[in-house]
Amino acid sequence: MNKKIRALIMAAGKSKRMQSEKSKVLHEILGKTLVEYVVDALEFEPIKRIGVVVSEHNCEEVETVLGKRVDYILQKEQLGSAHAVMVAEQWLKDFTGSLVVVVGDGPFIDSSIMQTLIQHQQQSNLAAAFLSGIYESPPPYGRVIRDVKGRVMRIVEEKDATPEERKIKEVSSSHYCFDVQKLFPALSKLNRENAQNEYYLPDVIGILTGDGEKADAIPVDDPFLTFGINTREDFVTSAVELERRIIKKWLHNGVTILDPQKTYIDATVEIGKDTVILPFTYLGGKTHIGTKCTIGPFVQIQDSVIRDNSELSWVQINKEQKR
Of 228 and 273, more confident: 273
Q: Is residue 172 part of a domain?
A: yes
Q: Is residue 213 part of a domain?
A: yes
What pLDDT does 321 receive? 43
280, 262 in Cβ contact below 8 A? Answer: yes
pLDDT digits (tens, 9 = 90+) for 77-91: 889 899 999 999 999
Domain shared by 16 and 102, yes or no:
yes
pLDDT digits (tens, 9 = 90+) for 42-76: 999 999 899 999 999 899 999 999 999 999 999 99
Mean pLDDT value across the chain: 92
Confidence at 223, pLDDT banded by 50, 70, 90: confident
pLDDT digits (tens, 9 = 90+) for 253-276: 999 999 999 999 999 999 999 999
For residue 200, give its domain range.
Answer: 5-226
The answer on pLDDT for 19 being more than 80 is no
Of 140 and 209, more confident: 209
pTM (predicted TM-score): 0.91
Task: Tell me the mean pLDDT in the region 292-305.
Answer: 94
Domain shared by 222 and 300, yes or no:
no
Task: Tell me the mean pLDDT in the region 133-162.
Answer: 92
Domain shared by 262 and 141, yes or no:
no
> Rg of the chain over CA atoms, in angstroms?
22
Asked which of 9-23, 77-91, 287-301 is least confident by mean pLDDT, the reply is: 9-23
What pLDDT does 322 receive? 41
Domain shared by 265 and 210, yes or no:
no
What pLDDT does 197 receive? 86
**CA–CA separation, 75 and 64 (whole Å):** 18
100, 5 in Cβ contact below 8 A? Answer: yes
What pLDDT does 276 receive? 98
If one counts the domains in the chain, the total is 2
What pLDDT does 192 receive? 87
CA nearest neighbour of 35 among 301, 172, 55, 46:
55
Domain shared by 163 and 100, yes or no:
yes
What pLDDT does 22 receive? 87
Q: Which residues contact 128 (CB under 8 A, 6 or more apart)?
A: 121, 176, 177, 178, 179, 182, 183, 204, 205, 208, 213, 215, 216
CATH number at residue 170: 3.90.550.10
The answer on pLDDT for 316 being more than 80 is no
CATH number at residue 301: 2.160.10.10
Q: Is residue 152 part of a domain?
A: yes
Confidence at 314, pLDDT banded by 50, 70, 90: confident
Domain shared by 178 and 314, yes or no:
no
Alpha-helical regions (H) of 20-153 = 34-42, 59-66, 81-86, 111-123
The answer on pLDDT for 201 being more than 80 is yes
**CA–CA separation, 212 and 7 (whole Å):** 25
The answer on pLDDT for 286 being more than 80 is yes
Task: Tell me the mean pLDDT in the region 16-23.
Answer: 77
Domain shared by 222 and 258, yes or no:
no
Across 4-18, 25-39, 194-208, the highest mean pLDDT is recorded for 25-39
What pLDDT does 1 receive? 63
Whole-number Cα distances in Å, 313 to 202, 256, 282, 286 = 52, 16, 12, 20
Domain shared by 294 and 212, yes or no:
no
What pLDDT does 140 receive? 86
